[in-house]
Amino acid sequence: MAKTGPVLIVDDEENIREVLKLYLTKEGYQVETAGDGEEALAKIREVRPQLIVLDLMLPKKDGWEVCREVRKESSIPIIMLTAKGEEMDRVLGLELGADDYLSKPFSPRELVARIRAVLRRTGSASGSAAGDPEILTFPGLIINYPSHKVMVNSKEVEFTRKEFELLWFLARNEKRLFTREQLLEKVWGYEYAGDTRTLNTHIQRIREKLGEPCSRYIITVWGIGYKFEVTA
């Protein structure tokens, strides 16, 4: 039985699209494909995929531009395909809102594992487990997971999905200290690779959006990481 919603494969190499479509179909996924950035954006609006596998090097509109356009109006999970060893590509892609990356060449089996992990993480793992609250309330701050809304001093403030997931994760684990490596793995889902700029940038943006005094709830423990704690 096919899983809900198609996976959109965006790559300018037809053989890659066909191999991945064949493999993912056998795994039970519905699959749509696109060969360039403009076709990808049209397909996204047409079929509303549950996840996008997005190559960075595309004709007409590259993967970064496609990612920017998608993030303006949607939180559809995105796995970016990057050239092997291109660390800056990965960092930029994650900062633009990608949920994971995979370096070429890769095996279809690994891609399926990444798809499952991202869908599990974005669908439920960052959310509430049985018995956990779905709405967190602190002085001047309300975080509503089902609606992905944040109210700061009674006013709604917009957060990107990754900003929201990071804020939710820290707040849901109030007073618990996490290392930067743990937060990268828990929220972004990839192992620490020696660069925490993406995490630090998101923390800075969250604090700016929370403003005073709520920004003080996110505490930096120098040399270790971050925790969420409401202090007097």
* Residue 117 sits in the same domain as residue 11: yes
Is residue 225 within 8 A of residue 180, CB to CB? The reply is: yes
CA–CA distances in Å: residue 3 to residues 56, 77, 130, 230: 26, 15, 23, 41
pLDDT, one tens digit per residue, over 84-105 is 656 666 677 677 778 888 888 8
Q: 144 and 114 share a domain?
A: no
- Give me the pLDDT at residue 124, please: 36
Say what the pLDDT of residue 64 is. 87
pLDDT at 104: 84
Verify that 106 and 205 share a domain, yes or no. no
Residue-level pLDDT at 152: 92
Answer yes or no: do 34 and 119 share one domain. Answer: yes
Side chain identity at 23, as an amino acid letter? Y
- 13 belongs to a structural domain: yes
Which domain does 144 fall in, by range? 135-228
- Residue finishing a domain among 100, 125, 150: 125
Amino acid 101: pLDDT: 84
CATH number of the structural domain spanning residue 14? 3.40.50.2300
Q: Decide if 130 is inside a domain.
A: no
> How far, in Å, CA of 51 to CA of 64, rounded?
16
Helices 108-120, 14-26: inter-axial angle, 10-degree rounding? 60
Report, as ranges of residue numbers, the positions in the chain whose pLDDT lies below 50: 1-3, 124-131
